[in-house]
Amino acid sequence: VIKYTGCITGAVPPFGSLFTEPVPTYVDASLSRNEHINFNCGLRTHSIQISYADYVTVEGITNT
């Protein structure tokens, strides 16, 4: 994981499109019921929160 993403296991952010070689991002449909989502941002000790709507826009999710 670290060789491909630069992040340790468990800390990979949910933005597959941002990696040098993009990877598909799959999103559980139940996440769309949340106004905000939280996730690790490259470290297991740091998380961020964004609106689900912003996440979908940034990552280009089309089938939620």
- 63 pLDDT higher than 70: no
Share in percent of the chain as helix, strand, coil (round to 5): 30, 15, 55
Q: What is the mean pLDDT of residues 46-54?
A: 94
pLDDT digits (tens, 9 = 90+) for 7-33: 888 888 889 888 888 888 889 999 999
- pTM above the 0.85 mark? no
- 38 pLDDT higher than 90: yes
Q: What is the mean pLDDT of residues 43-57?
A: 93
